[in-house]
Structure 1
């Protein structure tokens, strides 16, 4: 589709009204990443606040804070935030304040790593017990499951009290709620397993509990997979049924992505096909299944790709992650129609975990306003990243070992 620059500017800069009544000032969303900038004890830091302030100053309508935990026993990494009774509320309020300058929104992404919980600081637990190559976990009891909605609701309430305008429920990328949706992880034979309506049941309960906790005027979003990209995982047919079920809830924004962090699984963001953006065909069908605003995330490398996706009418917003890491003020340039597209790094060879580590350490550089001097290669980035996690594991265990 050919779209003029004038039309493109109008599409990207158009406000998006959410069902709850809140309005996003444009159609560019900073999708969640695990920023690993918590203090190792579940609290926000000045560096983390500066990171989201940078994106807000750079023109995004909404940023999402990845992997914010309601339960410290099942984190994704020791740099995660935890929203609980002993959270440093002053640090959290500062994060909300700084990340919402320039009329931006900042929402914590409420998650639970489940079977993918970080083993050095967790005892992984998922929908079902699994003993697979590289992945071992025990299964949730019914009592464990029934306690989850209240945990998410408490975390959401803490977020709103700190000044955040919304929350996102993380049901994608192979973490706990994604695991419940996936027959690869979920082998249950009770009312939380089997057909897709049962596998969705817990998510529906959590949405209801969160909405009751935060009220009608706070945004409640959700992130879901179009596909797990794993044999035996969530199919696109079942994912479309998830969209239909979400349409019957009070959700304000559905973000569509895909893939998992299952050991050895392919990552959409590391794809070498170069064909992105991803998941647009899924959204074209999903658009017919819901009236809730749709955001698609994955593979956007140029402004005109974003413009074409929005002009199609199949999605209402585009989610950008790595593009905003290499170019923090991308949103302002794309809305204005000036400046270059982001220039992504090219790595001659990769090491396992190296690309993720490189982007994570560049986030740290942005938070310290020194990204122009960031020159780590993959191996160096991975070494620093792993050392930081190792140091934080000691802090996390000391803080939460009795939780």
Structure 2
């Protein structure tokens, strides 16, 4: 067998999850906050078109980022919300088209907690904090006890509207990541202290979601390899989290890192060459039999193949690469060595690169790729202006 055929087989091998569900290949469109909701928590035609494009483009699984379990603590006003307000017809239209070509489509179930979008929420995390200009309230024990049922209800809506699995978001500095982080979690009850105690609410959520969805429905989780913040979750603590997750019914552990805490350096904005978290996955492989996905900094096919060939990583998550080329998965799985031209920005403001990619993603969703704005300053203005317009709609719907 030629090396080219071996490489194609590495990418095209189906992945059977512990629940029995099968992902057709080893390439995941990892979660990104696409900000394509209608400002009232509902799916839109442009969002549906985008995920259909990625499905037709060959990914085995697409994950919709920042799908909120409650409108009270959103990451942004373009998020989907899976609660009693949800438009089931719009969600079913989205999942029907996003699952063509045997692709899986999962929502990333989240709660922004202390990083909730300020114009729409009074931020509340595991503990009351004031760090510089950052400030948030702390959750009561009753608040925490309600979380498993909230996640389970959102997961049930996902299943009922045609999603083929769910991912629980416990990374990037949002609520469940905050519980894991000693920087955010100063609690002295059963949800704070040791890594095991800080993980308790996540285990309770997984157990409740599994009970609600049944044994054969995929449940994944995204975690940090570290927070990359002084006083935050360390790599050693993150490995202990992996050990704990190995005892649960989780089907896929996706590893990433970093935080959107104000002033923190985003891994995805790093100028260093990726991939960023494969070394962590090597260590995690020794302590879990769960399938592992790694996301962050994969820029070419060779990097993906090297990760998969190590027998450490079961699948690779791609984000910005699939914005630059939505058909990339099909090209790479059929042997085309497509090279990507990642843009560079001189001294971009915090969040500026993310805004650029989000608006490039929006151009794809609207079938206007040729009209995509390339000037960073004007792109940021468009991005921020769109969110300001949605705030009014969100308040009218939910507040």
Output the TM-score relative to the length of structure 1.
0.97
Choose the corresponding residue for 2:398, options 387, 392, 400.
400
Identify unmatched segments of 5+ residues in structure 1.
Answer: none
Compared CA separation, residues 5 and 372, structure 1 to 2 (3 A): farther
- In 1: Cα distance, 2:370 partner to 2:104 partner: 26
Q: Which residue of 1 aligns with 2:134?
A: 135
- In 2: Cα distance, 1:390 partner to 1:232 partner: 33
Q: 1:64 deviation in Å?
A: 0.4
Q: Which residue of 1 aligns with 2:329?
A: 331
- In 1: Cα distance, 2:372 partner to 2:388 partner: 22
- In 1: Cα distance, 2:374 partner to 2:20 partner: 44
- In 2: Cα distance, 1:108 partner to 1:56 partner: 15
**1:300-359, Cα deviation, whole Å (9 max, x unpaired):** 000010000000011100000000011101100110111522221122342332211110
Contact 2:373 2:379 in 1 (8 A): no
Structure 2 residue 283 is the aligned partner of structure 1 residue 281: no
SS of aligned partner of 1:109: strand
Choose the corresponding residue for 1:293, options 291, 311, 333.
291
Contact 1:9 1:337 in 2 (8 A): yes
Q: Which residue of 2 aligns with 1:320?
A: 318
- In 2: Cα distance, 1:134 partner to 1:388 partner: 25
**Number of residue pairs the alignment of both structures matches:** 398
Contact 2:105 2:163 in 1 (8 A): yes
SS of aligned partner of 2:317: strand
Q: Which residue of 2 aligns with 1:45?
A: 44
Q: Which residue of 1 aligns with 2:62?
A: 63
Aligned positions of 1:68-147 closer than 5 A: 68-147=67-146
Aligned positions of 1:191-270 closer than 5 A: 191-270=190-269
- In 2: Cα distance, 1:182 partner to 1:87 partner: 31
Compared CA separation, residues 339 and 304, structure 1 to 2 (3 A): closer
**1:105-132, Cα deviation, whole Å (9 max, x unpaired):** 0000000000000010011000000111
Contact 1:330 1:341 in 2 (8 A): no
Identify unmatched segments of 5+ residues in structure 2.
Answer: none
Contact 2:269 2:354 in 1 (8 A): no
Q: Which residue of 2 aligns with 1:169?
A: 168
- In 2: Cα distance, 1:286 partner to 1:163 partner: 32
SS of aligned partner of 2:37: coil
Contact 2:123 2:137 in 1 (8 A): yes
SS of aligned partner of 1:345: coil
Q: 1:256 deviation in Å?
A: 0.2
Q: 1:155 deviation in Å?
A: 0.2
Q: 1:373 deviation in Å?
A: 3.0
Q: 1:370 deviation in Å?
A: 1.6
SS of aligned partner of 1:385: helix
- Off by >6 Å, runs of 4+ in structure 1: none
- In 2: Cα distance, 1:19 partner to 1:209 partner: 17
Q: Which residue of 1 aligns with 2:361?
A: 363
Contact 1:8 1:304 in 2 (8 A): no
**1:128-158, Cα deviation, whole Å (9 max, x unpaired):** 0011123211000000000000000000000
Q: Which residue of 2 aligns with 1:151?
A: 150
Choose the corresponding residue for 2:338, options 340, 347, 358.
340
Output the TM-score relative to the length of structure 2.
0.98
Contact 2:225 2:238 in 1 (8 A): yes
Contact 1:99 1:106 in 2 (8 A): yes
Q: 1:4 deviation in Å?
A: 3.3
**1:23-63, Cα deviation, whole Å (9 max, x unpaired):** 00000000000000000000000110011001001000000
- In 2: Cα distance, 1:98 partner to 1:130 partner: 43
**1:68-87, Cα deviation, whole Å (9 max, x unpaired):** 01111000000000001121
